Amino acid sequence: MHNHISLNQFISQENTKHSSIDYDLAGLLNQVAISCKRISNLVNRSGLMHILGAAGTENVQGEGQKKLDIISNNVMVKDLEWTGYLSGMVSEEVEEIISIPNQYSKGKYLLLFDPLDGSSNIDINVSVGTIFSVLHTPNGVTHPKDEHFLQPGTQQVCAGFCVYGPTTMLVLTIGHGVNGFTLDRDIGDFILTHPNMTVPEDTSEFAINMSNQRFWEAPVQRYIQECLQGKEGPRSKNFNMRWVASMVAEVYRILTRGGIFMYPRDQKDPSKPGRLRLMYEANPMSFIIEQAGGLSSTGYEPILAVKPTHIHQRVPVIIGSKNEVSQVISYHKGN
């Protein structure tokens, strides 16, 4: 396990090599890791603790919340609001900015997170996870407003996600590649187990919700039809389809063996240009994938180049192995 390098040791070594991690960022990342450990334990024991099932409430997107959505969000907020590293937070589960209480010091970073991605799977024991992104607070700002969070993905300081599956994995980029850490429950620490994760440029796996096929735009219809035609079609190779309905699980699979994950623009609900949230799903995952040698796009432009207009903005997502994503982009250009 690479000499049992812990997350804290790794962050210290990265700072020595790149001088890109100051004391506050190191502290913030370690505190986020603690929150992920707490959520992992809650997910692991959710049946015993009777916290499965619907909460009977909706989030800002009008989606039904699970009990664990609300609990995980509260864990993140309570674990991080007092640290002095943050000036504000944004969560998928909360409509407004989460302000830092006046009794706590304000820091230089902004945190954006999806506390429990894929929570629709929680009751059937399928992998779920936490996604997070860190931005700099603009100079002179101590009480950030919406506009201070609306930075393009290229401005991210770091991004990561935790996947709560057979093992709990933390995947992290600080802008110098991607590394994976496994939670060693015996010692309660994340240990480096997957250094320098790289997305293969080619793949024969795609992940998409086929039930929405009739609503897709022509470029995506064309790409999927060519995949389904296999060796006899214009791509001259067979493809496998995967669909977990949990972005953390889909992206982790791509990081380990390649693939393409798509939640494209469709006409199912014309008022929504995409399904996934830019600020705390698409941007952090795109940063991670591109740092690992993959590619991300809305189909029309790089996700990391999108100028945000709203903290809960939705965008189409096409992400994964470089050559397959490039193929889908070329069909959009041709269209």
| 6 known member of a binding site | no
**189 is known to lie in a ligand binding site:** no
Residue 117 is predicted with a pLDDT of 95
92 is in an annotated binding site: yes
Name residue, tokens 């890791």: 33
The reply, when asked if residue 255 is annotated as ligand binding, is no
pLDDT of residue 40: 96
**Count of other CB atoms within 10 angstroms of residue 315:** 26
Q: Are 268 and 212 in contact (CB under 8 A)?
A: yes
Residue 129 sits at φ, ψ, to 5 deg, of -170, 180
Is 119 annotated in a binding site? The answer is: yes
CB 93 within 8 A of CB 69: yes
d(CA 175, CA 67): 34
Report the distance separating Cα 133 and Cα 141, nearest Å. Answer: 19
Residues 268-303: b if buried by 16+ CB within 10 A, e if exposed: eeeeeebbbbbbbbbbbbbbbbbbbbbbbbbbeebb
Give the domains, in start order, of the chain with CATH numbers.
2-194 (3.30.540.10), 205-334 (3.40.190.80)
Sign of CA dihedral 119, 285, 21, 201: positive
- The dihedrals phi and psi of 14, each to the nearest 5 degrees, come to -65, -40
From first to last of the 335 residues of the chain, give the pLDDT tens digit. 456 899 999 999 988 887 778 999 999 999 999 999 999 999 998 888 888 888 778 677 767 788 999 999 999 999 999 999 999 999 999 999 999 999 999 999 999 999 999 888 888 888 999 999 999 999 999 899 999 999 999 999 999 999 999 999 999 999 999 999 999 999 999 999 999 999 999 999 999 999 999 999 999 999 999 999 999 999 999 999 999 999 999 999 999 999 999 999 998 888 888 899 999 999 999 999 999 999 999 999 999 999 999 999 999 999 999 999 999 999 999 87
Q: Does 209 belong to an annotated binding site? A: yes
Q: Are 126 and 246 in contact (CB under 8 A)?
A: yes
C-alpha to C-alpha distance for 66 and 148, rounded to whole angstroms: 30
- HEC readout, the chain: CHHHCEHHHHHHHHHHHHCCCCHHHHHHHHHHHHHHHHHHHHHHCHHHHCCCCEEEEECCCCCEEEHHHHHHHHHHHHHHCCCCCEEEEEECCCCCCEECCCCCCCCCEEEEEEEEECHHHHHHCCCEEEEEEEEECCCCCCCCCHHHHCCCHHHCCEEEEEEECCCEEEEEECCCCEEEEEEECCCCEEEEEECCCCCCCCCCEEECCHHHHHHECHHHHHHHHHHHHHHHCCCCCCCEECCCCCHHHHHHHHHHHCCEEEECCECCCCCCCCCEEHHHHHHHHHHHHHHCCCEEECCCCCHHHCCCCCCCCEECEEEECHHHHHHHHHHHHHC
| 327 close to 320: Cβ distance less than 8 angstroms | no
pLDDT at 2: 53
Residue from 128, 130, 151, 136 nearest 73 by CA: 130
Q: Annotated binding residue at 118?
A: yes
d(CA 217, CA 41): 41
